[in-house]
Each structure stands twice: as C-alpha cells, then as structure tokens.
Structure 1
Amino acid sequence: MTLDTSFEHRILITGANGFVGYWLQEEFKTRQREHDITIFPVGYSTTEGRTLDVREYDDIVDVVHECRPTSIIHLAAMAAPTEAHKIPRVAWDINVTGTMNMAYATMEAAPAAKFIFVSSSETYGASFNEFMGEPVGENVVLKPMNAYGASKAAADVLVGQLAHDGLNTIRFRPFNHTGPGQTDAYVVAAFAKQLAEISIGLRPPVMSVGNLLAHRDFLDVRDVVRAYADSALLDFPSTRGQVFNLASGRTLQIQDILDTLIRLSGQKIDVQVDPQRLRPSAVASASGNATAVYRAMGWKPEISFEKTLADVFEYWKARVTDS
C-alpha cells in the first residue's frame, strides 16, 4: 500500500445522489486531512452536482474530459431488484449499457484512471443454494436469478474482460448493506420506518410482514464505502483487475433483525404475517467470504450490526417526526 499525500485525487462518482453515493461522499470528507481530494458527483436527475445519464456515451466522454479523474467510482445503477423486475429493459440499459459506456469513456478520456465498479452479491444467485449457507468466494459461478442480478453480472463480466484490454479496474461485490438514509424499499429500512411511525402514534402497534425465514449477510453502508474510498485513494497493486466480495461471512435471519429493531424501539408490537407478502425466498441463506479483500487491502467490517440497526431506527424516528 502506498500513501502519497502530495498527490491530487480527482474522483468522479456516478450515482452520487443515491444512498451509497451520499455516504461515500461523507467518507471522503473524513479523508480530507490526509489527502488532497476533489470530488465530482454526478447523478441522474440530481439536485447537487452535475446531471448525467449513463446511457448517453458522448455526454459521459465530455464529463470525463472535463473532470480529468484519477479514479471513477461507478455506483450508478437501477439498484432495487423489485424495480428491475418491473422494468427489466431499463435495468439492462442502465446497468449494462451504462457500465459499458462508463468503462469505454474511461479508456478513451482518462486511460490512467482507476475504474472502480460496484457489482453485487445478487450475481451469485442460485450458487448460494449449492453452498448450503457456507460463505461463497469470488470464484463461484455467477448464476443470477433476477433481472437486477443478471444485469449486474453481465456488467461485472464486461468490466472483467476490459481489464484485459487495459482498463485499470477493480470490482466489488458487496453483500446486503444498510444504514441511515436508505429508502424503505429495503427490508431494514421498511421495518424501522414502521416502528418509528408506531412510536409517535402514526399507526397502531401492529406490523404486517412477509417471509422472515431467510438468512442474509448484512453490512453497514459506512463500512462498505470505506472499501471504495480506500481503493480510490491508496495504491494496492494486487487489486488491479481483481474482484472482491465485501461481506461479514456470517448471516442474520430476517426474523432476528426484526426482533432486534423491536427491542431497540422499546415497544410492544403485534407482528402479523400477511399472506399476500408471504413469498418463499429462492435463496434460503446467502453469505460471502471476504478473505481476499482483507489480504489485498486490509478491509473488514468494523461497525456492529446492532449499532447499524439503532442508527437506522433513530434516522426514521427523526424523519417521521419532522414530516
């Protein structure tokens, strides 16, 4: 690992107006004392930074030329699996064509820049079932089972291929991550929002839930963005062209997450299973082996998941109180 404090880091972040993009920018703010950092946030229909549609190649080339980035962190994606299922053509256009555009624009306009691509654990899909809950490594066959996972897998493979054509890239496959600010389209935020509304009397103390049996590998978003920031700011020669899981290596049952949030809320809740929400999970258990990223970069999760849940609940309490 090389640390050069005299080097100017010019970092272009796509999807900067999203949940992860916000926390990534916050992470870079904490690094300003150690590094000379200039951030160029771009997003689709953004109110901060520059608007950029990753489906428009010429616009991307113009942005890359203007920014002269040393690193590009490509977060832009249709990230919600349910949304990708509803409009799969748009998901493929953004997640695959958009990634291809960003990668080729990098090679054309900033060939020396690092291209940090954020893939997903959803790319493993059915392979999780073959491991019976054991953590999977990066060499497991990608067998995505939904439009989101398939589109991210295609983009992942594309970026890996372009590494052989000279793209200075690193790929991350983060497992489930949450934190303050995540929308209630995701399970932890959905639970926390309901509990926050109950806590101030906006709804009765009854929660309607679906399948609570699935086991998933959860991380705090603040741990996840630390890996992205490290890869942009520090020189890890062993990471070039590589792909890394970001995972804890353990699973939590959705039921346990709900129970912890209820305990943190200090409330007595009647949990009712809604048959309309009760869809069996195609993957009973999913977790990742993150040994490779620890060996290459020294990354491992640092934030306890109970703290994560407490922070998410407090975020939603403040949000529903102010609304």
Structure 2
Amino acid sequence: MSILVTGCNSFLGYHLLNLLPLQEREIIAVSPEPPPEPLRLTGVRYTQTDLTDYKQTHALLSETKPSEIYHLVSQEFSLGSTGLKPSSLLQLFILGAYHLFEAARQVVPKARILFVSSAEIYGGGRGVMDVIHRESDPALPLTPYATAVASCELLVKQFTSAYHSDIVVARAFGVTGPHQDRKFVLSSAASQIASIELYDGETAIYTGNLDVSRDYLDVRDHARALVLLVKRGNTGEVYNICSGKVRTIRDLVQFLISLSKCPIEIRIDPALERAIDIPLLVGSPEKLMTLTGWKPMISLEDSLRDLYGEIKVRLAAEHTTQKAA
C-alpha cells in the first residue's frame, strides 16, 4: 500500500515528503502542475492530477491504492492573495476535497486521511477570552480562503459521520522555514533583504501591514506533527498545530534584517496589504501535545535563520542561471 500526498508544490509538502518512509512504501506526490525542481525528491513518484475532476481522482486512487492520504492543498496558497477568484477557490477546495473523500470511500474505504485546514477559520474571535483558540471554538471565517477550508471541515464531518471514513483534521497556524515560496510575508521579506545584502540593491524592503500578531512554527516541526496525527489522531477530531506563542510580524521582519548586517528600511506598500486582516491569531497546542507528545523542536529564530540562508542560496542560483542565459 502506498502513501499519497496532495499539495506537494508547497514547502510543507516538500518537508513532509522528507519524513515519509521512502524505502518502505511507494510515495505518490500529487499536484495539478509539476513542483519546481528544488522541491523534487529522489524516490518520490510525482503525478499531475486535477482533484476537481472526479474521474481523474478515482482513477488515481484505483491505481495507487493508498493506505494513508495527506491532503495539503490549502497550504499551496498565500492567505492574503490566493491568485484565484473566490468562486474558483471555493470550487478547488470544496470540490477537490469532496472528490478525494468520495473516491477514497469507494476505492480504499479503510485509508487514513489527514485534511490540513487553517486557523484562518477562527476569524477575529469574539473578545479577549477567545484570544488563544482551541479546537472547540466556532468557525467565523472572514475570507473566501477561510470559508473554503471551513467548508472542507464540514465535509469531513459528513464523511466521518455518515460513511465512517477515517479522516483527521489538522488546523495549521503560521508556518515558515526553508524553501517557503516568496509570496508569503516572511519569505518575501527575507528574499528582499538577501537581495540587498548580495547585490547592493535598494536599501528598503516593501511589505504589507506588519502590526499583526501570529503564532508561527518551523515547517519541519509542522511536518512532524502531521505524521504523528496520521499515526495517532482520532477519527473525526480536529487538532491545532501551533506553538501557543505569539509574535508580531514586525518583530520577525526586524529579526530577518538583523541577519543581514545591512541598514535596511521597511516601507509599507498598500498594494501588499490584505483587505481583511486578523489582528491576532494564536492557538493552543495542548490537545496535540497530550495525544502525541509532540512539541516544537526548532526555535522560530533558528527557523528564520535557515529560511534566510536557504533564500540566499536560492537567489545566487537564480542569478547564475540568469547570467548564463
């Protein structure tokens, strides 16, 4: 039996694939488009499948017969700008999840499925007492992205209740670390800072609103939590994946600037600001920790150091390629 991972174009997908038993099981990584070369791993079978097409999804599961499925599609998108119209985003998430769950029900009804959701579904909360979000808090989505993942969680309830499908939900809070796409706030800032350090570029970076507070984890700690939930998570249950600690985005960007040793100014670009931004988003990891014994192993500072170092290597490789062309 194989292991199937959707959303392998994301850096979370890449780090998750690194943790899976490549020598013991066939690992199938699924995405609509091939992943970039730096995110491809030897020993993984990559395939392009459109999950919004039920025939393609059914055929994929019929051919691969996975015993474990990690559904990471939501992690491919920047929360502020998904690049999709709301109607297309809802179709991709909801129809894709429905087709995957239904095909699994028909083809591999005993497969363990992990759906990776987002803490964005908590919205802004209802007051001070709701600041640290627990899994029992109601969904109050403020964006199409949040509505899409909240709707997918409802599909999980339907399939676990009506058909006894074996599905677990992981709610992801902030994630960063090496190989993150530059469309996300911290990786974007790191890329701009590294470009200034390497190539004496403009001495300012451009960001959206930095005066928001988030609960961040290193991507490798996050990937470990996903593996543990597939092994130990209870069917139909939801688990926050977070640190329980909060930092402002401004503080984290300032830390990235300190790594460069260059005098760099932060400039706010209104075009980069989200139309709807949640001022504070922090969760409790107690349920996950109690069940699995998981805890973060990589500090946020080390995560940002690794992100910055990897982005400098990435930029240097891109620069060499451009010069050769």
- How far residue 176 of structure 1 moved from its aligned partner, in angstroms, is 1.0
- Match status 1:143 vs 2:140: yes
- How far residue 17 of structure 1 moved from its aligned partner, in angstroms, is 2.8
The aligned residue for residue 156 of structure 1 is 153
- How far residue 280 of structure 1 moved from its aligned partner, in angstroms, is 7.7
Residue identity opposite 2:19 in structure 1: E
- Match status 1:212 vs 2:210: yes
168-177 or 258-267, larger mean C-alpha shift? 258-267
CA distance 1:43–1:309, change in 2 (3 Å)? same
Q: SS where residue 172 of structure 1 aligns? A: strand
- Match status 1:50 vs 2:47: yes
- How far residue 134 of structure 1 moved from its aligned partner, in angstroms, is 2.8
Picking from 167, 186, 192, the partner of 1:169 is 167
The aligned residue for residue 15 of structure 1 is 7
Q: SS where residue 287 of structure 1 aligns? A: strand
- How far residue 37 of structure 1 moved from its aligned partner, in angstroms, is 2.6
Residue identity opposite 1:160 in structure 2: K
CA distance 1:207–1:319, change in 2 (3 Å)? same
CA distance in 2 between counterparts of 1:118 and 1:152 reads 9
CA distance 1:45–1:280, change in 2 (3 Å)? closer
- Match status 1:61 vs 2:58: yes
- How far residue 221 of structure 1 moved from its aligned partner, in angstroms, is 0.9
Q: Which consecutive residues of structure 1, in runs of 5 or more, have no partner in the other structure?
A: 1-8
CA distance in 2 between counterparts of 1:112 and 1:218 reads 33
The aligned residue for residue 251 of structure 2 is 256
Q: SS where residue 28 of structure 2 aligns? A: strand
Task: Check whether the contact 2:124–2:279 (CA below 8 A) recurs between aligned residues.
Answer: no
CA distance 1:147–1:260, change in 2 (3 Å)? same
Q: SS where residue 239 of structure 1 aligns? A: coil
The aligned residue for residue 26 of structure 2 is 38
TM-score (norm 2): 0.88
CA distance in 2 between counterparts of 1:276 and 1:46 reads 29
- How far residue 178 of structure 1 moved from its aligned partner, in angstroms, is 1.2
Picking from 8, 18, 25, the partner of 1:26 is 18
Task: Check whether the contact 2:34–2:48 (CA below 8 A) recurs between aligned residues.
Answer: yes
Question: For 1:40-75, what per-residue CA distance to the aligned partner results, in whole angstroms no more than 9, with x for missing partners?
Answer: 111112266111001011111111111111111111
CA distance in 2 between counterparts of 1:76 and 1:150 reads 15
The aligned residue for residue 266 of structure 2 is 271
The aligned residue for residue 318 of structure 1 is 313
Task: Check whether the contact 1:15–1:43 (CA below 8 A) recurs between aligned residues.
Answer: yes
Residue identity opposite 1:174 in structure 2: A
Question: For 1:124-146, what per-residue CA distance to the aligned partner results, in whole angstroms no more than 9, with x for missing partners?
Answer: 1132x524673110010100100
Residue identity opposite 1:179 in structure 2: G
Report the aligned-residue RMSD: 2.0
CA distance in 1 between counterparts of 2:274 and 2:101 reads 37
84-93 or 299-308, larger mean C-alpha shift? 84-93
- Match status 1:107 vs 2:95: no
- How far residue 85 of structure 1 moved from its aligned partner, in angstroms, is 7.0
Residue identity opposite 2:33 in structure 1: S
CA distance in 2 between counterparts of 1:242 and 1:320 reads 41
CA distance 1:108–1:314, change in 2 (3 Å)? same
The aligned residue for residue 130 of structure 1 is 127
Task: Check whether the contact 1:135–1:250 (CA below 8 A) recurs between aligned residues.
Answer: no
Q: SS where residue 226 of structure 1 aligns? A: helix
Task: Check whether the contact 2:143–2:276 (CA below 8 A) recurs between aligned residues.
Answer: no
The aligned residue for residue 76 of structure 1 is 73
Q: SS where residue 16 of structure 1 aligns? A: coil
Picking from 169, 178, 181, the partner of 1:180 is 178
- How far residue 169 of structure 1 moved from its aligned partner, in angstroms, is 0.8
- How far residue 290 of structure 1 moved from its aligned partner, in angstroms, is 1.1
